[in-house]
Structure 1
Amino acid sequence: MVSGLLVEHNIAACQLHIEVTESSLIQRHDDVRKQLNSLKELGVRLALDDFGTGYASLSYLQDYPFDFIKIDKSFISKIDTDRTQHAIVKAILDLADALNMHVVAEGIETEQQRDVLLDMGCKNGQGYWFGKPVPADVATEMLVKQYATE
């Protein structure tokens, strides 16, 4: 089904990123693994979302073919002032690096948080500091305007 949609809409598989929350992996473990492996074989990029908030996070990194780890915003909220949060995020970044995975920090709301994460080597982030969520038509309009001027 996914491969057909990629062809129909002329989208390269590597441009499709699918996020899976830790909590969704708890049920039907074998079925989910087969489906994710099939998507990975197509070239789809996979992200483990809300990392650190569910059960058995580390086993998921071993059992599933994820390309990205998305650090939950609960670990980012006080990263610029809380040594424990800072240490946890640093450990996740080091682990991801050792596993050849990319990291996305979720919930970045201040410039200070962004700066701390950049200093730690985290190159990808999302949150209100970058922009608030918008409907698809507004996002499309923003992209058209941005690329029309380049």
Structure 2
Amino acid sequence: MPHNLPVKLGNSLETVSSARTDVVFPLPPIPEGLAAVRRRAARAMQQWRIPSDLADDALLVVSELITNAVVHALPPASLCLSRQGGRTACAVRIEVTDAGPALPRHHGGSPRQPEESGRGSAIVAALSARSGTAIYQGGTTRWAEIQ
């Protein structure tokens, strides 16, 4: 399910917040810019006082989902993090929305070895309480909930 928050997409890494403890980050269209998004996601979870083991798992899922969007999907793309739960229960919902799958690229030179890619879905499934994909006209949202 795509988030319903206004997002200024582009090369900016501005954060848009809502009353529901959601934070939205536009994703830069190049893999080199994703480290800044991961750092901002880590700061958001630190401010929410997410336990470090939960935050570590959530950051790994964030990394997998945002890399997938930038490498394999059409821009624009955005990351939405949501803190869920009360004082005793805590969960993080991660949503990455993009404009749908990109056309397959021809990789010149040496092809990637199978062990170098293709494990993202398994990592997300292993670390998530729930995860899924919503495909709709004009885009795709991949989401995961970490508890």
Settle same-fold status: TM greater than 0.5.
Answer: no
**Richer in helix (by share):** 1
Q: Which has the larger radius of gyration?
A: 1
If the length of structure 2 is used for normalisation, what is the TM-score? 0.31
TM-score by length of 1: 0.30
Relative contact order, higher structure (CA 8 A, sep 6+): 2
